[in-house]
Amino acid sequence: MIIAKNVEKNVDTSEGQLCILKGIDLEIKHGETVAIVGSSGSGKSTLLGLLAGLDVPSHGAIFLDGEDITQLTEDQRAEVRARLVGFVFQSFQLLPSLTALENVMLPAELNGVAGARELAEKYLGRVGLDHRFNHYPRQLSGGEQQRVALARAFASQPKILFADEPTGNLDSTTGAHIIDLLFELNREEGATLVLVTHEHRLADRCQHSIKLDAGEIVADDFRNITAADSAVTADDQ
Amino acid sequence: MFGLRLLWRDWRGGELGILASAIVIAVAIVTGISLFAERLQQGIVAQSNNFLAADRVLRAAAPVNPELLAYAETVGLRQAQILGFPTMVYTGNDADAAMQFTSVKAVSESYPLRGQLNVSSEAFGTVTQSTESPLPGEVWLDPRLLPLMNINVGDSLFVGEAELTVSRVIVTEPDAGGSFYGLGPRVLMNIKDIPATNIVQPGSRVSYRYLFAGEIAQLDNYGAWLEDKLLPSQKWMSLGDVQPRISRSLERAEQFLLLAGALGVGLAGIAIALAARRYSERHYDYVAMMKSLGATSTRIMTIYSSNLLLLAVIATIVGSGVGWLIQEVFISVLQDYFEVTEVPSISLRPFTIGAVTALVCLLSFALPPLLSLQAASPLRVLRRDLERSGVSNAFTYGTGVVGIAVLMYWYSANLVLTLAVLAGVGMTFAIVGVLAWYLLQGSAKVGMQAGSSWRLALASMRRRGFQNAVQAVIFSLAIMLLLLLALVRSSLIEEWQIQLPEGTPNHFLVNIAKRDVPEVEKILSDNQMSGEPIYPMVRGRLVTVNEESVKAWSAKTDPTVEDSVDREMNLTWSDVKPSDNVITAGEWWPAGASVQEVSIEAELAKRMQVGLGDSLSFLVGSESLNVTITSVRELDWESMKPNFYMIFPPKLLQQYPATYMTSFHLPSEEKRFLNQFIRRFPTITVIEMDAVINQIRTIINQISSAVELVLGLIIISGLLVLVASVQASLDSRFQESAILRTLGAKRQLVLGSLAIEFSALGLLAGFLAAFSAELSVFGLQEYLLDMDYVPHPWVWLVGPVIGAVLIGAAGYVTCRKVVNTPPVEVLRDL
């Protein structure tokens, strides 16, 4: 589903070129749950951005669903994203001028999908926010905002879901609920999940864990758990 | 469809408020001003053309070729004819019949084409208005003639061989101002009775006037067709030829309205640019999010440009409506002055101008910031610290300047005006920008020693140094434009009022016999009406210039001079230079001097190409008089005072027979004075100019009020710029205030520092605005409006004060929200 071949990312700074990622080779299969872990500044978020096609590597190639996205223009990558990808962010990234429902409708509206409203209502209901359709982000708690973000991510029915520190801005109880919801939805939708985190608890629930240090992969482990196993609820633990 | 929903959501979220109102105001200003200017123009022109009793007049010394009139008929112009001549009229054929020298005016039935006649059914009786003229067999008389000839309405009067019935008394005619030297009391009759009079023969002194009225385009076309068909003795005249004062005032007022309109749109344009910029900044993350969700940049641009277009359409419709209302309000405010007899037709042009303005404003002011959205990177959803890339400021402002230049040129069709205003604004930007930067740096250093609100305020000013310098420039530009308009407006109005101050002479007395002079002088001074000296008038003719005949001299210099001077001229003498004449060359003779000298009027001297030391020879009676020019005088022909081309030393002219003339001011409530005066001096001719002067005053008042109302409109757009500009910095202020308050700063401290920051910025902007306003007024008055520049010390006080108060208040009101929002709410949004 996702293949990275010898990916390297350099940025220009005032002190010369800085290498953020080097020699990244990885393969993520369809339906897999993957955690990218590492300390701050190890290059996790940069790798996520590259895999999702939000940015292009300095060297190397990235294949999403068999297509080399490093050869595409930004607009072509946008089309690939529209077709394959969903996102959940640490800072939720809800649009403040839109209601919860409108935020969830946005991807479907953008892609001209019919029945955007019904779809959005269904997913908002699925994350337990049926009573919050017309609330604006500022009227929602952090946990609720992230649930709206989850509904938005799944409403576009993506093949791959990228999550960037999805619990980073939440307290541990709320975070645990969000994680449960994320895995549960992911199992139901059968999407490939790639998440960046520095929480071991979260990484442990993924089948595949990639550890980064100073821009290089230092560990690439597979755990023998199924997608169903990882979807245990917080209360069960 | 999605675009529409996006627009609706933005509107609901308050994102579009300023942008939409800026466009609405731009459209409303231009539509309102153009509608109003159009109606004012039509109203005033219709009213001013009362001076001609028509829209255009063809003056001729003999009947014109009938083809000319037939063509006017085919192009749809309304016509009337006037025939004028001086003659004696009699009460009968017998020896003891009364007779009187009069000015006869024979008119066709359609006279007057514009304006009304004021008539009465008895001498000095109640006056009513009439748009009719005398029927065949009737004659209308000047009220003076009735006591002079001892006749009444209903009696008969002989004009030549025709016996006519006196049916009315004529008090004023709309085109009275044009017949200034048509001495003698008026006799108005029907042109069909002329053959019966047997007066008009080949060679008699008759003047012909052909009156035309119609649409401006028809008149202009006809005038152009006529141009090469006119004989030298024929003249095609418009209002400007008869009343240059009104025509000039109208022209300047129009220029002012256009300038004001263009500046108003410029201000609204700045507001649009600022609002669009803020809109695009706030949408940057929005676009990054949409891109991460798979929207292509083409899709983004389609959405935003169609939204913008839709907004323009809605704003144009609303703005046109508001413009219409503005114009209605103007008209109703001006109703007291505005005697619109027929509702002027409104063309589509003002609305087209409004719509095009909206489109150009959006393209040039709003599109560039929105284009920068296209460049938003989707990676921003992961990395907020990512630099914003996009369209440069220079490009944004550049397109804005081009846009406003296009609009200004389009409105005014005046390249000089457009370039002058742009240069002024450009200079303001450059000078004020640099000054503002340095002053801000300096004030921040000073502020460090002050109390906490001040320290906070000034530190904040320095921190946002560049942003504040830009803001100061925009503020001072707005204040400058307001001051500029206020200055130009007041000097225009002052100048207009100075032209005809209260107490301007409104009656002329001519044909005063020498023996009556002491008594006339006494009566005038007893009634506190004297003012102008009584001048003697001797009729004389210029025969040679520097020993050459006038004909030969003018052939060598300016052929038109011959027409002006080869006729009887009114010569006068005086030992004292008339008080409002200015000597531009040479010297006035000492009192009592017995010298062969003359003082000549400057314009005539220029046309004749003569000056100090040139010799002139006049024929007075049968004697010739040789003089040398020893002084050249400038004077105002429109001052309503006796003015002369040639003034001689008394000893040179005194021995010739002379009549005397003067002018005086008669307040309208003392008009009855004239009756007694005329009875006492039946031979003196009184020329009543009060109706003309009142009409000129009314028109000038109308124009002045119009100019003031338009200024009010511009102030609204100025305020809008201020609010838009303050709003532009709102987001960063929210964050700062939240952080400060989290750190323990009290609301009062934050509010105080905001008020101080904005007031200080306003003070600075006001000061810089005063500077650039003075500079621009100087340029405008010296080079464009052809007026004399006078410094205005008050702007140096008023500029900074309004700056501090307005901007302080706008800042305080807009930013109050900043301290009233709980810090946690703001910080959570970060």
Q: Chains A and B: how many Cβ contacts under 8 Å?
A: 84
* Residues B829, A54: C-beta atoms closer than 8 Å: no
Q: Which of B293, B296, B307, B829 is best to mutate for the A interface (most A CBs within 10 A)?
A: B293
Question: How far apart are alpha carbons B309 and B363 in whole angstroms?
Answer: 9
The band of B498, judged by pLDDT with boundaries at 50, 70 and 90, is low
| Helices vs. strands in chain B: H and E counts, helices first | 27, 22
**Tokens 């700074």 label which residue?**
A13
- Mean pLDDT for chain B overall: 79
- Mean pLDDT for chain A overall: 85
Question: How far apart are alpha carbons B743 and B721 in whole angstroms?
Answer: 33
- What average pLDDT does the segment A81-101 reach? 85
**What is the strand order of the sheet A208-213 is part of?**
A85-88, A160-164, A192-196, A33-37, A208-213, A216-222
- What average pLDDT does the segment A89-100 reach? 83
* Residues A110, B378: C-beta atoms closer than 8 Å: no
- Identify the weakest region by mean pLDDT among A113-127, B336-350, B590-604, B686-700: B336-350
Q: What are the backbone dihedrals phi and psi of residue B296, each rounded to the nearest 5 degrees, phi first? A: -80, 165
Cβ-based neighbour number of residue A90 at 10 Å: 19
* Residues A81, B384: C-beta atoms closer than 8 Å: no
Question: How far apart are alpha carbons A210 and A51 in whole angstroms?
Answer: 13
Contact B396, B368 (CB under 8 A): yes
B53: left (phi over 0), alpha (psi -120 to 50) or beta: left
Q: How close, in Å, is residue A237 to chain B by CA atoms? A: 31
pLDDT of residue B79: 93
In this complex, the residue of A45, A54, A107 whose CB is nearest that of residue B378 is A54
Angle, nearest 10°, between helix axes B452-463 and B465-499? 90
pLDDT of residue A234: 43
**Tokens 């040129």 label which residue?**
B409
Q: How close, in Å, is residue A58 to chain B by CA atoms? A: 15
Percent of chain B at pLDDT > 70 equals 83
Whether B60 shows a pLDDT value over 60: the answer reads yes
Percent of chain B at pLDDT > 90 equals 11
- What average pLDDT does the segment A77-94 reach? 86
Give the chain A residue whose CA is nearest to the CA of B296: A75
Q: What does the block give as tokens for B684?
A: 């003196």
Mind listing the pLDDT tens digit for each residue in B271-302?
A: 777 778 778 877 888 888 888 888 888 888 88
pLDDT of residue A236: 42
pLDDT of residue A57: 92
Whether A212 shows a pLDDT value over 50: the answer reads yes
Q: How close, in Å, is residue A20 to chain B by CA atoms? A: 14
- What average pLDDT does the segment B390-397 reach? 66
Note whether B299 contacts A: Cβ–Cβ < 8 A: yes
Note whether B86 contacts A: Cβ–Cβ < 8 A: no
The secondary structure element, H or E, covering residue B322 is helix B297-333
- What average pLDDT does the segment B523-536 reach? 82
- What average pLDDT does the segment B469-487 reach? 76
pLDDT of residue B191: 93
- What average pLDDT does the segment B93-101 reach? 80
CA distances from A211 to A7, A40, B88, B294, B700 (A): 15, 12, 122, 29, 85
Q: Which of A50, A105, A106, A197 is best to mutate for the B interface (most B CBs within 10 A)?
A: A106
* Residues A54, B825: C-beta atoms closer than 8 Å: no
Give the chain B residue whose CA is nearest to the CA of A51: B379
In this complex, the residue of A79, A138, A142 whose CB is nearest that of residue B296 is A79
* Residues A49, B383: C-beta atoms closer than 8 Å: yes
- What average pLDDT does the segment B694-701 reach? 72
pLDDT of residue B601: 92
* Residues B10, A97: C-beta atoms closer than 8 Å: yes
pLDDT of residue A167: 84
Residue A197: list chain B partners with CB under 8 A: none
The band of B615, judged by pLDDT with boundaries at 50, 70 and 90, is very high
Question: How far apart are alpha carbons A211 and A42 in whole angstroms?
Answer: 9
* Residues B294, A102: C-beta atoms closer than 8 Å: no
pLDDT of residue B389: 59
- Identify the weakest region by mean pLDDT among A91-100, B182-191, B812-821: B812-821
| Helices vs. strands in chain A: H and E counts, helices first | 8, 10
Whether B179 shows a pLDDT value over 50: the answer reads no
- What average pLDDT does the segment B310-339 reach? 80
* Residues A87, B293: C-beta atoms closer than 8 Å: yes
- What average pLDDT does the segment A153-161 reach? 88
Non-local (6+) Cβ contacts of B234 within 8 A are: B58, B59, B60, B61, B64
- What average pLDDT does the segment B646-652 reach? 91
DSSP β-ladder status, B162-172 and B117-120: antiparallel
* Residues B296, A75: C-beta atoms closer than 8 Å: yes
The band of B48, judged by pLDDT with boundaries at 50, 70 and 90, is low
The ipTM of this complex is: 0.82
Whether B31 shows a pLDDT value over 80: the answer reads yes
**Which among A220, A215, A229, A164 is positioned nearest to A59, based on CA atoms?**
A215
- Identify the weakest region by mean pLDDT among A28-32, A77-81, A122-126, B670-674: B670-674
Three-state secondary structure call for residue B395: helix
The β-bridge partners of B624 are B619
pLDDT of residue B390: 54
- What average pLDDT does the segment B49-59 reach? 82
pLDDT of residue B130: 84
Note whether B13 contacts A: Cβ–Cβ < 8 A: yes
- Identify the weakest region by mean pLDDT among B25-34, B156-165, B219-228, B425-434: B425-434
Mind listing the pLDDT tens digit for each residue in B237-259?
A: 887 776 666 677 667 776 677 67
Locate all alpha helices (DSSP H) within A73-171, ordered by sequence. 74-84, 100-110, 116-126, 142-155
pLDDT higher at B529 or B310: B310
Note whether B515 contacts A: Cβ–Cβ < 8 A: no
* Residues B292, A156: C-beta atoms closer than 8 Å: no
Mind listing the pLDDT tens digit for each residue in A10-23?
A: 988 878 888 889 98
Residue B278: list chain A partners with CB under 8 A: none
Note whether A144 contacts B: Cβ–Cβ < 8 A: no
The band of B46, judged by pLDDT with boundaries at 50, 70 and 90, is low
Whether B2 shows a pLDDT value over 60: the answer reads yes
The band of B158, judged by pLDDT with boundaries at 50, 70 and 90, is very high
Q: What does the block give as tokens for B319?
A: 């703005």
Mind listing the pLDDT tens digit for each residue in B351-382?
A: 888 888 888 888 888 888 888 888 788 887 77
* Residues B378, A78: C-beta atoms closer than 8 Å: yes
In this complex, the residue of B9, B378, B384 whose CB is nearest that of residue A102 is B9
* Residues A78, B297: C-beta atoms closer than 8 Å: yes
Task: Identify which of A186-190, B265-269, B692-696 has the greatest average pLDDT.
Answer: A186-190
Whether B486 shows a pLDDT value over 70: the answer reads yes
* Residues B296, A109: C-beta atoms closer than 8 Å: no
Residue B830: exposure state from Cβ atoms within 10 A (0-12, 13-18, ≥19): exposed
pLDDT of residue B377: 81
The secondary structure element, H or E, covering residue B820 is helix B808-820
* Percentages (nearest 5) of helix, strand, coil residues in chain B: 60, 15, 25
Give the chain B residue whose CA is nearest to the CA of A136: B13
**Which among B783, B716, B771, B773 is positioned nearest to B489, based on CA atoms?**
B773
Q: Which of B287, B296, B303, B304 is best to mutate for the A interface (most A CBs within 10 A)?
A: B296
Contact A144, A96 (CB under 8 A): no
Residue B299: list chain A partners with CB under 8 A: 110
Give the chain A residue whose CA is nearest to the CA of B300: A110
In this complex, the residue of B289, B296, B299 whose CB is nearest that of residue A95 is B289
Locate all alpha helices (DSSP H) within B448-531, ordered by sequence. 452-463, 465-499, 517-526
Whether B335 shows a pLDDT value over 70: the answer reads no
Mind listing the pLDDT tens digit for each residue in B531-580?
A: 788 889 888 888 899 988 888 888 888 777 776 677 778 889 998 888 88
Note whether A171 contacts B: Cβ–Cβ < 8 A: no
Residue A74: list chain B partners with CB under 8 A: 291, 297, 378
* Residues A112, B2: C-beta atoms closer than 8 Å: yes
**Which among B772, B720, B599 is positioned nearest to B26, based on CA atoms?**
B720
* Residues B291, A78: C-beta atoms closer than 8 Å: yes
- What average pLDDT does the segment A199-210 reach? 86
Mind listing the pLDDT tens digit for each residue in B432-465?
A: 778 777 766 666 565 555 556 666 666 666 666 6
- Identify the weakest region by mean pLDDT among A34-48, A132-146, B413-427, B602-616: B413-427
* Residues A75, B5: C-beta atoms closer than 8 Å: no
* Residues A74, B384: C-beta atoms closer than 8 Å: no
- What average pLDDT does the segment B163-180 reach? 76
Amino acid at residue number A106: L
The β-bridge partners of B156 are B165
Give the chain B residue whose CA is nearest to the CA of A141: B828
Whether B226 shows a pLDDT value over 60: the answer reads yes
* Residues B292, A112: C-beta atoms closer than 8 Å: no
